[in-house]
Chains A and B, each alone.
Chain A
Amino acid sequence: MKRPIYIFSDGVLKRKNNTLYFESEGVQKFIPVENTSEIYIFGEVELNKRFLEFLTQSEIILHFFNRYGYYVGSFYPREYLNSGYMILKQAEHYLDTQKRLSLARTFVEGGYKNMRQVLKYYQSRGIDELERYIQQMENLFGSISNINDINTLMAIEGNIRQTYYSAFDLIIDKDDFKFEKRSKRPPKNALNALISFGNSMMYTIVLSEIYRTHLDPRIGYLHTTNFRRFTLNLDVAEIFKPIIVDRLIFSIISKNMLKPEHFEQDLEGIVITDSAKKLFIDELEQRLSTTISVKNIGNYVSYRQLIRIELYKIEKHLMGEKEYQPYVSQW
């Protein structure tokens, strides 16, 4: 099984003897290329074209993050799975307003249902006040079937998410991790910093999975395409953010794994320390490799495979074979 590699230290990444090699102050390490699915770079790393060529040949994506943990960008190697047929289908569903709206609505629906599922889960564990938020989200969601433009749909999606986030203080109930309100770039408190970091990770995970399919990440449906940025991964991530990122955040906070020392105040806002990022990523990897049983597929699949399966479902929708139904968690 191929695994992602995370690099936090500063150093040089290069190709050596047909494999990947990382050199940093006194540490030299070979990274087996056959077992690497993608590389995340958090430190200051030097690399050259020869290395990028080797990554292209080995079909490995490189994701870069800056010192604040913000996503910088990805080296997305030349596509190795090409299907002109699928690209045309993807464009067709973008250009036809009705087709685009119906897919965009499905992403909002998937996101909403999973957010509701998260709140219901905590409601079943005794937080009764959540009912009010669930109701409010339900009302908002009820209006999306009449919406005929993407911007309004996006706005409603935003409102649903706002309501959902405002329930976080009820679930977490810890002074060090108050939510207050959503703040980004820069996040104003530890919880917001965690959400931003987790979401960025989710976007890159979905992007990596898209690279392994015939879909083009530049054509998204809910998030506006301008054919320059990756957007399809943002669409699909909506579905998985609540059940993977948010549940993970609740779980590491409730287990007291994170302390105020894991966060630093910077001129620009709150910064997550490397040790907190590592801890988060460890837990995230564990979650992604957790297997669950899924109808039809027959056997147990991991959450990571589940993301890939979601992309296959979208491909089948584009082909006109089977209408896309987003994955909704069933705990």
Chain B
Amino acid sequence: MERFLDIKGHIVQAYVVCKRQAWLLSRNISPVQDNPFLEIGKLISQQFYKHDKKEVYFDGVVLDLIRKEDEVLVVGEIKKSSKKVAAAILQLKFYLYKLLKHNIKARGKLLIPEEKKTYDVELTFEDIETIESLLSEITEVLSSFLPPLPQKIKACAKCSYKEFCWA
């Protein structure tokens, strides 16, 4: 089996929404770049939080933003909308989990500047268990020879893989 263990944050996020997308991402089959929704997303993370440290590389993942609040490290994840909040929170918890593995205690903040919303995220003991079992589940799906078959779900409508999946 190839080494897919260095799972990236966006793969975790994608996995929760669509397993097929996670598989494709793991092969670096990235989506079409001219999807307007992707461009909007990029612009939003460029535009906001100019005073914070952004795009920080850490142990193979990219943290959208880090800052210190009351001497505690805060990891921020910037999203365009609150549509897939659950997946985004999980992605953030995955980062906190990675940091914890390196003995760095941190809090998470999900930032949705366009909606002026933030969600505080903390890693609990149950979360650690959930993430560990999720990671082994992801590893299993990603190591399969073929990607999971496409399934029409709600997310397909605006997905940048749409043409690829249904071609």
A312 and B147 form a contact (CB under 8 A): no
Which residues in A have their C-beta under 8 angstroms from that of B32? 212, 308
Is A315 interfacial (CB 8 A cutoff)? Answer: yes
Question: Are B27 and A296 touching (Cβ within 8 A)?
Answer: no
Total residues of chain B contacting the partner, CB 8 A: 15
Q: A312-B163, A312-B164 are in contact. Are A320 and B34 (CB under 8 A)?
A: no
Encode A288-299 as 1/0 by CB contact (under 8 A) with B: 000000001110
Q: Within 8 Å CB of B167, what residues of A?
A: 296-297, 309-310, 312-313, 316
Interface flags for A277-305 (1: CB within 8 Å of B; 0: not) read: 00000000000000000001110010001
Residue B124 at the A interface, CB < 8 A? Answer: no
Question: How does the 8 Å CB contact mask read for B148-165 relative to A, with 1 for contact and 0 for none?
Answer: 000000000000001110
Closest-CB distance, B113 to chain A (whole angstroms): 22
CB contacts under 8 Å to A, within B45-59, are none
Q: Determine if B125 is an interface residue (Cβ-Cβ < 8 Å).
A: no
Q: Report how far A301 CA is from B27 CA in the complex, Å.
A: 27
A247 to chain B, nearest CB (A): 23
Question: How many A-B Cβ pairs are below 8 Å?
Answer: 51
A320 touches B145 (CB 8 A): yes
Q: Is the CB of A80 within 8 A of B33?
A: yes
Contact status A86-B147, CB under 8 Å: no
Give the Cβ gap from B13 to chain A, nearest Cβ, in Å.
20
With both chains docked as a complex, state the minimum distance between the C-beta of B39 and any C-beta of chain A, in angstroms.
Answer: 9
CA distance A206 to B122 in the complex (A): 49
Complex contact A81–B163 (CB within 8 A): no
Whether the pair B145, A214 counts as a contact (CB closer than 8 A) is: no
Known: A82-B28, A296-B166, A296-B167. 15 other contacts (CB 8 A): A81-B30, A85-B27, A86-B28, A212-B32, A212-B33, A212-B34, A297-B163, A297-B167, A301-B163, A313-B167, A316-B167, A319-B146, A320-B145, A321-B146, A321-B147
